[in-house]
Structures are given as structure tokens and as C-alpha cells.
Structure 1
């Protein structure tokens, strides 16, 4: 069976765009996505503020990490919460990804609406209503697979009580991964004894199945110097210990999953965990931000960023903002038409990069000496020096942290070349937040 419903994903192109899609002007309202794209619109036909994706950049990033995982003997289940875009999930699965990772049951419903058949929920699911819906999905589609996390015996008791009161003895079990955490981290059992107790509780439950071990090293590490990397490796070795202690509890028909690996330390995860594949385990990374990469956080910390820590081509920033100068109230200060509701700001301020041509035939200019100093709800503050801006100028800006960029845009134009004077829009990506 295919990894998703290609017809459901393709049908996104038949949806009409409207006033609800802030990326598109009134001239396109009422047209389908396919009809808009048939006209080969250019960036100059779209309003600001705007966020775009680079078709070439995303293709490069998806292929780069797919090749890297293949060379290092690990699988990839990218965290779909980053983009919440089924069309991009499909692109990642087409490149060989093992599954899509999501963070909650709402996100799972988006995946199921588009026929995605293998999903890892990197979270505890204890709502009886949600557990019943998942049970119905498992019963309705024999090809559907879902794995959830648990970090306490109490969690297992709640899940078992909710499911045993709803499903019959012949129902498919729900696959559960024991979540291992660390002191100061996020969720996850804080010691091996607790984790093993959780594994035992899963194995003894009548409606659950022990399917492996998981964790998130990004909540443990805080930098990329050698001391930080060793702290991450130590945590990953704890993950291995729990997996080894649970080996006798795995059902004979289960290939146990051992999963870690966000977008910051995936090379450390492969270094510590990849050998488990030789013992019959499936090692699964969950990197999500790589598809867009960025001009901030992940440019600095990714193993394939500006200072690579592993083999392979570097990732390329594939998301950009586009803004317009609307005011120059003081010398050296300009305000633009985008703010916190349009641009990510939790990790870094946007980075001015280019000034679009002010008239036909004029060149693209480098936005040197410019800094975004502050964002309000709908305004941004830009300081400038030797290279001036004037009211009406349009700038391209680099963005930091994809996880808080995509959620601000329900429809995202994809351009052929973000460096061009007037890029062509080659796709429109629908998100579901």
C-alpha cells in the first residue's frame, strides 16, 4: 500500500483560494490553486507581508537528509508539526521517509484526512475520547499504523482503562513506545527503573503493545561544543540501556523502534544508536526543521549547517519573508509592514538580505548594514546605515525557526528562485494549524 492517499493530497490543488488566504491578492480569490498556478504568477503580483518557500531549496534539503540517513543506516520520520503541510509530508515520504511524526491527535486527524498510513505521535495520549477515535481508525483501516509514547505507569493505566472499556478482545493493540527523559528535560521517565516499569506495564496490558523506546535529546542538550555533545551522547546511551533491558518484553512480531533525533543533534543520535539496527531494532530520527532549514537557529546548530559536524552537503535556507517599508519617522529608522503575527521571532529577529529592484531593469541590492531590532504585532523596526531604504522598498528577509514560521500562514507560495529579481510562484502549500 502507498504511504498516503495521493488523490487526497492532489485534491488540495482543487481548493479555491479566498480572502482568508493572506498570501494572495483579491485578483486570485475564487480561483483554485491549480488555476492560480496555471497563470505562472510572479512574486511582484503578491502582497506584503509574505512568507515563501524555495522549491529548489526544499528539494535539496529533502534529498540531502534522505541520502545522509541511508549512508548512516537510520530511518527518518520527520516531525510534521513543523510544517503541518500534507503536500510536504508526501514529498518527504516519496524521498524514502519511514513515517511522519506528529505531536497530538488533532495533527493525526489531518494526517488521516489525507490517508497517511504510518504516524508516530511523539507525545502521551491519555484522553479517552482521543483513544477511542484512534481505536476506530485502527479498526477501519488495517494498513494504518500509529505509535504513541508513555512515560509513567499511571499513563498506561489510564490508556488501558479507556481502551479496554471500548474495544473488544480481538481489537488491534495500540503500539506504545516507552519515553525516556532526563533531568531538566521535557516529558519522559527520569530514570531507567521507571522506564522499565512502564515497559512492564505496557507488556501486561491487554489492549496495548510494547513497540520500543523513544526520547528527545533536544531537551537535554543546550549547545554544540564538545561538552554539550557528550551530554547528549550520555542521554542517548541511557536510551540504549532501557531498550536492552526491555528486549525480552517485546512481542515476537514487533521490530522494536528506538527513536530520537531532532534537527540539532541527529548526527549524535546516529553515532550512538545506529549499531542497534544490527541487533534487530529500527532506529528512527524525527528531524523536522531540515526541510526549510533557516537563516538563524538551525543555520548555527544543525549538523549540516554553516559549521558542519558530519559528512554530506550543507542544508539550504528555504524559507524567506518579504516586507515593505511603510514609514521613515526618524533618521536611520524605517518601519515595515510585518510583525509577530507574520514572522517568527522566538529564536532570532529576521535578517535583512536583499532589496528588490525599485524599477524594471534595476538590480537586486544587498541589504548590507541593516538590522531588524524589534517586532510589534503588525510592524517591524529596521535600522540602516550606509545603504538607505526608502518608503515603498521591498526587502527579502531571512527567518529563524521554521516551527514558529509555518503556523502563521495558511497558504504559502513556493517560488522557483528566491534570489531572482521577480521569482515565479510554482506551488501553493496549504497548512493546517
Structure 2
């Protein structure tokens, strides 16, 4: 199945699109090339800038190629088959996911290879994974406990066929989320995999994104490298070894510490999993991306997502209420950032003097500084912080050119 061949329609149920009449296919709607401001949309609506998406995908593909990294971008950010397709065509070898449901969705979308960056313990999804592997599906899963090894082995053993489910032993860090807390525990898990039937150790997994700074991330990744050497010394790794890490904050440290051929006697594959890069943002990742903080010479990312919302009230001096809230925009890693104002006559002006103070379910409280002004009916364009909790609020996201002509629609599956 093609990743872009899922038949979908839009109608009155599609948030952000004004469609009181009969349903229309996504392709047919996009082919009409509507203007964002021509009446086919209602407010608020989140859109993605086409040029920024293309630029970001190309930038990370080039970064990985320069550093000898494979790329399995984290699909939980977007859960969008059209974006997965673009990432795979740009050189990604797999899509990473966080849950069994996301793995199932990717399989149905036609993604050829998936890395489940978590330990999977449910018997039903584990049996499904074993069945799909034995049909040729590329699948990797993390494991960080002997109990997890047993659950996987039991499920794989109940499915006919001989092709093993490949797993990655995960090394975490104190205070982190999942992963073995030391090398001894990691080796215990690796030995349990070696003794089990139906599963096979493919390598070691890590996640450094929750650490406070690049120095701490580097120390942790040095420990991951040392742990891989130790597992190899104990004879627990095969001829091909996968080492995977990489959120969106410290992918330069992953390249520095884990790329290259540093495991003699083994063919090493280092796989990066960064996902938020595809849309970037105007908040947390704008401040944290290595391209801004440490390696500006290696590239840049552009914020692709913007939410257009309407001023619905200006009830007192210094305050405007905008029709956009927690149901429409991310707020967990910073509030939306005003980018520009569209006046009633269609002209654009600076948002200087505007700041989002707080959000309710469907309302944003916008401070209006002295000398600034917004009027009911005007539109405000906001940048977002944290794309992972922005994409999941929209089933359909218009893709726009710089003049806000809609040229495509992104369909998400959360």
C-alpha cells in the first residue's frame, strides 16, 4: 500500500475546514487550490508551510548523510503518512513509534520498517508483531527487563515461523524514563535474550533527550558506547550491531559520540531517531536545536506550523480574547507566539505588543501593550511550541505556500 493512497474525505466533521455541503476527497479539495482566506476555512486552523517542511526534511537528511547516520525519525510527532513518505524518500530507513497502536497504523499505511522505541509487553500486539515479522515486516522493539524478554519470547513462540523478532536492549540513566540503569542489568537482559527462543538481540538503544544539557547528554552517550563494548566483550552481540539514540535537542552529540566504526569485529549501524525537526517550532525546539545552539554551520530549521485564529473580543484596555485554546494549540512546553496580524482589509502587520498570557479550552488571553491594537474580526497568526502536542489536535492540516494558497492536506492518525 502506498503511504499516500489512503482514501479520505473531508466534510462537516473536519475541524478548521468550512464544509456544510457534501463530502469531498482530500485530493479534490487540495486540487482546487483554495486561499486560506477565501472562505473554505474557519477559525482557528493550523497550517503547515510547504517550503519549511521541504527544507527541514532535506536539512536533516543531509546532516545524517554527512555523519554516516541512518535515520528513523520519530513518527509520534506527526502520525502523518504523507510526511512519512517524504521522510523515507529523503533517505530515512524506518519510522520510529512509541506505542503498539502507532506501529499498527504504520503497518497499515505501508511503512516498510518500524522501530518501536519502547518495551512492548501486551501479548496480543506482541503476537501481531511476530506474525508481521514472519511476513517480512521490518520491526525492532526495545526491551529493558527480563520480564519483558519473557513476554516477548512467549508471544513469539506461539506464532508459526522461524524469523526472530529483533530487539534492542535499552540503557537508561538515573531519573530517566525507561532503560536499564547500569551495564550489569543491561548485560543480564542481553543474556536473557540470547537464551530465549523466537527473539534476537540486534543491539542497544538509548534516549538522551531528557537530560538537562549537552554535557550531561555527552556523558550518558559515552556510557552507552562503553556498554556496547562490554556486551561485545561478553559475546552477546552479533556480527551486525545497531546502536540507536537521538531526540531533537542533542542529535549533534549522538553524531559525535556514536557515529563511525568504533566497534572492531562488528558492522555498526548508528540510527538517529529525532522527530520534531520535520516541522520545528517557534518555542522549545527553536531554542534547543543544535543548529541554533552549537552547530549553525551545519544547517538550520524553519518553523513550519502556524495557527490562524480570530480576535473575538476586546473587552477592556490591554486585553484581547482570541478564539484559540487548548483544544487547538500546544501549550505544555510554552504558549503560542504571535507572528503577524491580518487586518480586516487583508493587509498584514507586525504583532509587536501582543503576548499570549494564558489559554482556556477555546480561548486565548492576549495582552495588548500600550500603543498596540487589535480589533474583533482580525486574524492573528501564532507560532507554536512543541509540535508533538500540536499535530495530534488536528486530523487535517492544510499545506500552504508563502502566499497562503493551499496546495495539499496532511492527514494525521492519532
TM-score bucket (shorter structure): over 0.9
Determine which of 142, 149, 159 is the counterpart of 1:149.
142
Distance (whole Å) between structure 2 residues aligned to residue 376 and residue 54 of structure 1: 26
Distance (whole Å) between structure 1 residues aligned to residue 398 and residue 367 of structure 2: 28
Matches within 5 A, 1:74-153: 74-139=69-134, 141-142=135-136, 144-153=137-146
Question: What is aligned with 2:291?
Answer: 304
Stretch deviating more after TM superposition (183-192 or 17-26):
17-26
Does residue 317 of structure 1 match 2:303?
A: yes
Distance (whole Å) between structure 1 residues aligned to residue 410 and residue 118 of structure 2: 26
**Are the aligned partners of 1:79 and 1:101 in contact in 2 as well (CA < 8 Å)?**
yes
Q: Per the alignment, do residues 376 and 342 of structure 1 end up closer, same or farther by CA in structure 2, a change over 3 Å counting?
A: same
Question: What is aligned with 1:395?
Answer: 380
CA deviation after TM superposition for structure 1 residue 15, in Å? 1.8
SS at match of 1:325: strand
Distance (whole Å) between structure 2 residues aligned to residue 81 and residue 276 of structure 1: 30
Determine which of 63, 68, 71 is the counterpart of 2:63.
68
Count of aligned positions = 407
Question: What is aligned with 2:203?
Answer: 212
Determine which of 394, 415, 419 is the counterpart of 2:400.
415
CA deviation after TM superposition for structure 1 residue 137, in Å? 1.5
SS at match of 1:81: helix
**Are the aligned partners of 2:156 and 2:165 in contact in 1 as well (CA < 8 Å)?**
no
SS at match of 1:78: coil
Determine which of 317, 324, 328 is the counterpart of 2:314.
328
Could you tell me which runs of 5 or more consecutive residues in structure 1 were left unpaired when the two chains were aligned. 223-227
Distance (whole Å) between structure 1 residues aligned to residue 294 and residue 382 of structure 2: 23
Does residue 287 of structure 1 match 2:274?
A: yes
Question: What is aligned with 2:29?
Answer: 36
**Are the aligned partners of 2:130 and 2:155 in contact in 1 as well (CA < 8 Å)?**
no
Stretch deviating more after TM superposition (271-280 or 147-156):
271-280
SS at match of 1:217: coil
CA deviation after TM superposition for structure 1 residue 249, in Å? 2.1
Distance (whole Å) between structure 2 residues aligned to residue 97 and residue 28 of structure 1: 40
Question: What is aligned with 2:236?
Answer: 249
RMSD between aligned residues: 1.4
Question: What is aligned with 1:349?
Answer: 335
Question: What is aligned with 1:225?
Answer: none
1:40-59, Cα deviation, whole Å (9 max, x unpaired): 11111311111111110000
Stretch deviating more after TM superposition (290-299 or 234-243):
234-243
Question: What is aligned with 1:175?
Answer: 166
**Are the aligned partners of 2:311 and 2:378 in contact in 1 as well (CA < 8 Å)?**
yes
**Are the aligned partners of 1:188 and 1:215 in contact in 2 as well (CA < 8 Å)?**
yes
SS at match of 2:29: helix
Matches within 5 A, 1:152-231: 152-164=145-157, 166-168=158-160, 170-219=161-210, 221-222=211-212, 228-231=213-216
SS at match of 1:211: strand
**Are the aligned partners of 2:4 and 2:85 in contact in 1 as well (CA < 8 Å)?**
no
User: Which consecutive segments of 4 or more residues in structure 1 shift more than 6 A?
Assistant: none
Distance (whole Å) between structure 1 residues aligned to residue 26 and residue 283 of structure 2: 31
**Are the aligned partners of 2:248 and 2:289 in contact in 1 as well (CA < 8 Å)?**
yes
SS at match of 1:213: strand
TM-score under structure 1 normalisation?
0.91
Question: What is aligned with 2:367?
Answer: 383
1:352-401, Cα deviation, whole Å (9 max, x unpaired): 110114215xx310100110000001111001122200000101011000
Could you tell me which runs of 5 or more consecutive residues in structure 2 were left unpaired when the two chains were aligned. none
**Are the aligned partners of 2:12 and 2:20 in contact in 1 as well (CA < 8 Å)?**
no
1:310-353, Cα deviation, whole Å (9 max, x unpaired): 53221000001111000111111010111001000001110011
Distance (whole Å) between structure 2 residues aligned to residue 29 and residue 123 of structure 1: 42
**Are the aligned partners of 1:372 and 1:382 in contact in 2 as well (CA < 8 Å)?**
yes
CA deviation after TM superposition for structure 1 residue 27, in Å? 5.1
Distance (whole Å) between structure 1 residues aligned to residue 276 and residue 114 of structure 2: 17
